[in-house]
Structure 1
Amino acid sequence: MNLDNMEFSGASVETRGVLVPGRLSLNNQGLVFRNSKTGKSIIVPPSEWEKTIWMRIAGSYGLKIFTKSGPMYRFAGFKDSDFESLSRFLKKNYQKELKEEDKSIKGWNWGSIKFNGDVMSFQVDRQTAFDLPLSYVQNCTTGKNEAVLEFHPNEDASVALMEMRFYIPQEGAEGDPLESFHQNVIEKADMVQATGDALMSLNEVPCLTPRGRYELKVYPTFLQLHGKTFDYKITYSSVLRIFILPHSDGRQMFFVLSLDPPIKQGQTRYPFLVLNFKKDEDPIEVELEITEKELKDKYDGRLEKHLSGQTYEVLGRVMKGLVNRKITVPGSFKGVSGSCVACSYKAAAGLLYPLDRGFIYVHKPAIYVRFDEISAVNFARGGGNTRSFDFEIETRNGLVHTFSSIQKEEYYKLFDFVNGKDLKVKNRGDKEEVSGRQKMEEFVDSDEDTEHDAYLQRVKNEANSRDDEDEEDEDFKPEGEESDVAEEFDSEASETDEEEEGADPDSPKKDKEKKKKKKKKSKDYADEVGAESRKKSHKSKEGKKEKDPDMPKRPLSAYMYWLNDRREQIKKDNPGISVTDIAKKGGELWKTLTDKDKKKYDDMATEAKKDYDSKMKVYEQKRKSKDDADDAKKSTKSGKSSSTAKGSPQKAAKSAEFILTDEDTSSSEDEKAKDSKKEAKRKTPDTDSD
């Protein structure tokens, strides 16, 4: 491990009771932690460090840093073996000593409270039981001898601490310990309360997300939106990024704030605040309600007391000074619609802005994707429309954003922009990745007519003629007499002729009803069989076109012959020209040529066309002879099968007079036995009994 730069890829930072994963590194800047979820970086320079503590936490070890300005940072994800190397690194590079801290594990709920900057520590027998950052507190109330702390909710936490109560005895204490506790908490707590005057306010500001018109008030620690139905308060610590984006019509401007945690109303979350301003509205002048001393001491010259300009410009400068973050504007991308690309996300139309470090889509819903989150992008055809295409962004966690209905003219600029940012271009339709030039030619040639396939047309005509032939089923007669064969779904299929003969002759109505039922069932069966056959024939007609490899290739046009000759010269005359711009430049030069200059290439195209026509004639003749040979083979096979069927031996039929049933044979044997007994009695002489 290099001591000049130490990294821990499996580290995490504690934020309101949740461990957020990321990457921690120690370098010349100090301690830098990059959030893998939001991309937000925490930088703590060594000059701000007051104490560095090594502590034992559940399942692993952690690092706790107290700063001189007040905040405390806690990091987890370390091993026991990291203590020695980390201690040497801090002592050598930052001259800081890493101390070990033992926590109180007695489980007592009484002890003493100590305030250290923005942190409140609860100690038992001079050992720390727990540390509580006061920035987690949103309210503090006191009673007779009790103080109640209420905490900010964290929706990312499966189990969250919402309230904590302290009993503070006042007997024998100097002064009022309860009031002292309350004041220490209030000074450092992150309490969103509209106390004092707002720095500036704007009336009837149109907001796209959340939708409506709001009165906007800017306070030193938070931003307030007051509407007719809902109110929102946004703390500056939750603002990740600030965007100012021009609309494609040139008359509107979007002011966008990226938020984490997002504001919410009920079960709806809003991770972006999108305001809409008119570009040509009258400029405003604002005087901030703040003293010159506060501007210098608290904001270090980031704010000015007097501001003037367009509304979105003034608001951007104020938010930049309060939040202490840069404003992101469109970069070098210039498309047909300006710095954005008109498209649709799902069912909503919007604008996609390619920025220097990511893509942002405005506005429903607003989406921001950083380049380091993207695994690949894909250019796909729109659903059956050759005048537009889809742009897909696939992130590393498997999420895919599809922006559809992009005009074909935007493809060249967007493709060059993606290549310039070294993003991987992926083609989902093929097994292998397709180069940028091949993908460009697919879009450029998309309007050309498909090649005529004579053999395929002939097969289609034969299929249509076969479908038009009317074939009757000998056994099935839906419109005529009833079929003698009972269908498998017929409930009366098991009835025999004997049962029909034994029917009541005086009930003709029943016979008519039975006949009607049979006719109805046979008709339903005919409809099912007809529908099934139509489906099969329809599927066979919709088979995909397969190109014959023996078919001659279509000839090149005069322009393509000229472009192949001039391609290298165009590259020399325009060093660094992209592949997509060569076709554009060639088209412009081709238009400037005279008929005399084009004659050479026109003759080449004419000769190629003649050669193609002659080859097509030979190809069609070969194809026809091959088809005739195949038909002859089929007819020969069918003739052999029919002759075999005729020559098969048949069994000889016996006369009915030679056939005896089992009953006849048994009855004749009984009669013979009776006759033999009678004859025996006659022959036996009569004897007298004694």
Structure 2
Amino acid sequence: MESFERIHLDLSKQPGKCRIAETGLGWKPSGGGDTFTLDASNIGGAQWSRAAKGYELKILSRTSGVIQLDGFDQEDFDRITKAFKLFYGINLESKEHALRGWNWGKGEFGKAELAFNVQNRPAFEIPYSEISNTNLAGKNEVAVEFSLPAGGAETGTNGHLGGARSRGRKAGAAKDQLVEMRFYIPGTVAKKEKDEDGEEKSVDGSEVEEQNAASLFYETLMDKAEIGEVAGDTFATFLDVLHLTPRGRFDVDMYENSFRLRGKTYDYKIQYEHIKKFMLLPKPDDLHNLITIGLDPPLRQGQTRYPFLVMQFKREEEVVIELNMTEEMLEGKYKGKLMPRYEQPQHSVVAQVFRGLAGKKVVTPSKDFSSHHQQSGVKCSIKANEGHLYCLDKSFMFVPKPATYISFDTISVIVMSRVGGAVSASRTFDITITTKNAGGEHQFSNINREEQKPLEDFFQAKGLKTRNEMLDDSSALIQAALNDANIDSSEEEVVAARADRGSADEDDESVDEDFQSDSDSDVAEEYDSAHESSGSGSDEEMADADGAGSEDERAVEPKKKKVKTGK
């Protein structure tokens, strides 16, 4: 037996003791915990390479994928080599990684991991067990998403159970986690077929069918990582469900521990434990129902995050479905939660299946609120996005975009006000919800004036602090509108008068050019005469247009003398 101290299993935070014996390999954490063992018959190969905590022993098992043991010293190489040769008849292969730092290379699909090779040396490897999803992000781009651990304590100590149960175990080893990687794969490749043994072979014939290289990479990775299939048989499937967020139509597959959204471009796999809120909201059009699912961590699509899923169903559309479950499972784990057969409206069936599998309470709108039109939601807008604001028992929910959730516990004050012109403000009003968090504010605009009373009654019933900044007296509002109209007309008259005065001033300047002998006094009179002289000047010009030119000159001269005397 060979024994080694301070060894980390699969990037685990806690080191342990590793033993290599004739019957197999074992690892036990120093601080206590589950012991990991690997039978000798299950060891298919081994590699030795430089790693983060020293040197790494990578074991390729026949059934459990890749096992990483990190923390060896360089001097341990000879001992481990002899042990593997003696006990298992396996040669320990020493591998050197590419250190050039190039971001272009060749992807190689192994039995248990995807290797990215640079000049025939691996730059990094990705175990298939760590891949949760992959999508075609573009014509030549493939996005690979990595699993997150189900719990903080699950860091690889007992993660080698195979299938979906071991996904994301290694990702819990550190605070910073790699969640997505994208590969750019240009060009096309010759399409290959599989023979009876499952091996690929080239297509015979002069015309060889070509396939997009990125699509082939995507399909191969889906097959190797067994994405979707490893979750087991689907309990229920709902086809072509319309999603408002993220926009599109997806097939919804329900598994034991997760559900999957399958679209034409993107696929998502979401754990039930990531569901934090589940709401069933009737749409005010009396035709549709919305199912809103709050997720933490949120769904990611590239750089975009979706903390809420919003599904839309036709209210009257019924569905007949039988759950793909054994009677033992229904009577045992899901007794009283699920029925073997459903024949109800689709939104009701989806909600009941989600509630049974995920164990989440279905939240519906508060019975204490009813809008002016006897609906559960109020039509309004967030900036340029129209939607509906729902009043729940303990929170507000705005859907569909941007889906906004506001808990009553976080609200500081609700301000009701009018924004905009007098005519539009008489028909609509705004609600601004200020939260206790610094800088937290949500404004819902263009709410129908008829909804003011129901909303105020609801705020009062829930004990929410409210401030009304609107004019309650309708006559005062009409008077304000009239005043605004008078102000507008008076401003137009002022502008027109200024325009007339400007033209008169230009005429006066042309007259001054003819009387250059009075140079200084003429300039001073223009400034000193101010508003009165400009007004009289405009009147005199009107008289001049009627043929009283000589009187105009006599009328101007006394004013010039008066100004000089004033000085």
- Equivalent residue, structure 2, for 1:390: 430
CA shift for structure 1 position 643: 5.0
Q: In structure 1, what is the Cα distance between the partners aligned to 2:457 and 2:435?
A: 20
- Equivalent residue, structure 1, for 2:58: 146
Q: In structure 1, what is the Cα distance between the partners aligned to 2:495 and 2:478?
A: 29
- Equivalent residue, structure 2, for 1:156: none
CA shift for structure 1 position 422: 1.6
SS at match of 2:234: coil
Pick closer, same or farther for the CA change 1:441–1:314 going to 2, 3 Å.
Answer: same
Larger proportion of helix: 1
SS at match of 2:445: strand
- Equivalent residue, structure 1, for 2:188: none
Q: Output aligned runs, 1:294-305, within 5 Å.
A: 294-305=329-340
Q: In structure 2, what is the Cα distance between the partners aligned to 1:458 and 1:350?
A: 37
Q: Output aligned runs, 1:201-280, within 5 Å.
A: 201-280=237-316
Q: Do the aligned residues in 2 keep the contact of 1:142 with 1:182 (CA within 8 Å)? A: no
CA shift for structure 1 position 326: 0.5
Alignment of 1:189 onto 2:166: yes
CA shift for structure 1 position 419: 1.7
Residue identity matched to 2:69? F
Q: Do the aligned residues in 2 keep the contact of 1:476 with 1:483 (CA within 8 Å)? A: no
- Equivalent residue, structure 1, for 2:446: 405
Bigger radius of gyration: 1
Choose the corresponding residue for 2:510, options 449, 455, 477: 477
SS at match of 1:321: helix
Q: In structure 2, what is the Cα distance between the partners aligned to 1:481 and 1:641?
A: 21
Choose the corresponding residue for 2:395, options 358, 362, 374: 358
Pick closer, same or farther for the CA change 1:482–1:148 going to 2, 3 Å.
Answer: farther
Q: Which string of whole-angstrom CA distances, capped at 9 and with x for unpartnered residues, describes residues 171-229 of structure 1?
A: 487999x9x97644758535674333211111111111111111111111111111111
Q: Output aligned runs, 1:61-72, within 5 Å.
A: none
Q: Which string of whole-angstrom CA distances, capped at 9 and with x for unpartnered residues, describes residues 18-37 of structure 1?
A: xxxxxxxxxxxxxxxxxxxx
Choose the corresponding residue for 2:365, options 330, 349, 362: 330
Residue identity matched to 2:308? F
Q: Output aligned runs, 1:364-513, within 5 Å.
A: 364-384=401-421, 385=424, 386-397=426-437, 398-426=439-467, 439=470, 441-442=472-473, 445-448=476-479, 467=498, 471-472=504-505, 476-477=509-510
SS at match of 1:233: strand
Relative CO higher for 1 or 2, CA cutoff 8 Å, sep ≥ 6?
2
Q: In structure 2, what is the Cα distance between the partners aligned to 1:484 and 1:213?
A: 86
Q: Output aligned runs, 1:637-648, within 5 Å.
A: 643=565, 645=567
Q: Do the aligned residues in 1 keep the contact of 2:292 with 2:310 (CA within 8 Å)? A: yes
CA shift for structure 1 position 456: 9.8
Pick closer, same or farther for the CA change 1:483–1:444 going to 2, 3 Å.
Answer: same
Q: In structure 2, what is the Cα distance between the partners aligned to 1:420 and 1:643?
A: 76
Alignment of 1:344 onto 2:381: yes
Pick closer, same or farther for the CA change 1:392–1:463 going to 2, 3 Å.
Answer: closer
- Equivalent residue, structure 1, for 2:16: 123
CA shift for structure 1 position 642: 6.5
Pick closer, same or farther for the CA change 1:382–1:133 going to 2, 3 Å.
Answer: farther
SS at match of 2:320: strand
Alignment of 1:110 onto 2:7: yes
Q: In structure 1, what is the Cα distance between the partners aligned to 2:363 and 2:488?
A: 58
Pick closer, same or farther for the CA change 1:406–1:643 going to 2, 3 Å.
Answer: same
Identity across the alignment (%): 30
Gap runs ≥5 in structure 2: 19-27, 37-42, 47-56, 73-79, 91-111, 113-156, 169-226, 520-526, 536-560
CA shift for structure 1 position 110: 2.3
Pick closer, same or farther for the CA change 1:181–1:313 going to 2, 3 Å.
Answer: closer
| TM score, norm. by length of structure 2 | 0.52
Q: In structure 2, what is the Cα distance between the partners aligned to 1:469 and 1:394?
A: 50
SS at match of 1:472: helix
Q: In structure 1, what is the Cα distance between the partners aligned to 2:434 and 2:315?
A: 34
Q: Give the RMSD, CA atoms, in angstroms.
A: 4.9
Aligned length: 353
Q: In structure 1, what is the Cα distance between the partners aligned to 2:44 and 2:411?
A: 50
Gap runs ≥5 in structure 1: 1-106, 114-118, 135-140, 150-162, 430-438, 487-528, 538-638, 646-690
| TM score, norm. by length of structure 1 | 0.44
SS at match of 1:327: coil
Pick closer, same or farther for the CA change 1:277–1:466 going to 2, 3 Å.
Answer: closer
- Equivalent residue, structure 2, for 1:166: 69
- Equivalent residue, structure 2, for 1:288: 323
Q: Do the aligned residues in 2 keep the contact of 1:257 with 1:272 (CA within 8 Å)? A: yes
Q: Do the aligned residues in 2 keep the contact of 1:148 with 1:166 (CA within 8 Å)? A: no
